[in-house]
Structure 1
C-alpha cells in the first residue's frame, strides 16, 4: 500500500499548485453556436424581430370647412406601440403593429366655428384615444448586416376609439380663476377609424405620414360638422 501513497500525494500537490492557465485547458462543456436557434432566427435583420416605439405627429392638411378650423402646431397625436417584423427575403419584410394612439384636435376660436358648437372658449379641444393595429410591407436597401438599416414602408391601419372627450376652458367665473369642463362619450363621433400611409426610416429613427380615410364625425352630423384635417406627419423613435 505504501508505494501507492506517494503517487497520490504528488498528484494532489500538482493539482493544488498548478497555474490557473493549465487548469483552464480542461474541456468542461462543448457548445455549438450554430445550434442556438434563438440567436439565428431573432434579430433586427433575421427571420423575426419585435421592438417598442414612440411616435409624435402633427395634424396637417385642410379642414372640411371653416367650422372645423384647428390650431395647427398644437393639434397632434402621440402613439406608443409594439412592432413585429417577419423577413421574407433580404430586401422584403412584412410587419404588424399594435399601439395606443391619442389624437388631440385643438379647435380655433373663430366666428365661423361650428364644431362641436358655435360657443367660443379660451381653450377647446377634442381628444379621441384609440387602440390601433397597423400592417406594413417593408422594402430595405443598402448594406446593413444584422441591423434595421434603411427602409421604406407602405402601411395601412385601423382602430377603435376607446373614448371621446370634448374639453373646454373659460376665464374667471364666480370667484374661480378658470373653469374647465369635460364632456365624455360624444354621440357625434365615429367609433372606428382607418387609413393608409408611408414611413421612411434609418435605424431607430423614422419619418412617417398617415392619411385618415375614415370620418371623425358620424354621417348624420354632416354638413353641420365639417371634417377635421386628415393628415398626420411625425417622427418615430424605436427601442431596438
Structure 2
C-alpha cells in the first residue's frame, strides 16, 4: 500500500493592500491641502489634487497588474489622465505668463508726478483782444432766413367740423371754415374725422418752427387718432408756404376740431 507523502506548503508573503501602500500619500495630500487653503491659491490646490489623483492612479494600476480588469482599474486610468491634463495645463499657463511678462520695467508704487511746478498758475493768460463780444440777436430755435408770420388765429381759434374746409391763405377779415362745396382753393378738409390737405400735411410738435415744417415727413391725411387734443401738424398751402396747426380741442372722434393756426409768409 502506497502512502501519500505530505509536504509542507511554504507560506506566501502577505501582499499589502492598496490602502496600506497609499496612506503616506494621503497624509502628504492632506498637509498640502491645508497649506493650499491657508495660502488661498486655487492654482496650487488644483495642482495638488491633480498630483494626488495621478499618484493614486499609478499605484493602483501597478497593484492591479496581472489581475482581471475591474472598475477600479478604469478609475485609476481616468485619474492618471485627468491629473496629467490638469498639471500640463497649469504648467503651460505659468510658462506662457513668464514669457509674456515685459522685462526691464521698474514698478513704482508712488503716484506719477506732474511735470509742472505746482506753485505756477495753470490757467492760461487773459486774452489781449479788447474787442467786446456780442451775443447773437437771433432768438433760439429760429433761423435768420425764416420768413415772418403772415397770419395767425391768436385768441380766435377756428372751428373745423366734418364737411367743412379751411383756406389757410385766406385774407378775408373774418377767418372761418366754409362748406367744402362752397370753398375754392381750400387747404384743409374735415371729412368724418379725417383731415385732408390739398398739398399734404405732416404730424408735428405744437412748437414746430418754419424749418421744422419744411423738413417734416408729409402724408396724405390724418385720422382721428392723430387729431386728439394737444396734437399738431404742418400743412403745405396751395400758395407754396407752410402753416402750423395745433388742435386746441377735439370732439366726437375729430368731427369737430378747434384749431390754432399760424401761417408763415412764402419764402423768397
Q: Which has the higher strand share?
A: 1
State the TM-score bracket (shorter-chain normalisation).
under 0.3
Report which of the two structures shows the higher radius of gyration computed on alpha carbons: 2
Q: Which has the higher helix share?
A: 2
Taking structure 1 as the reference length, the TM-score comes to 0.22
Select the structure with the greater relative contact order (CA < 8 A; seq sep ≥ 6).
1
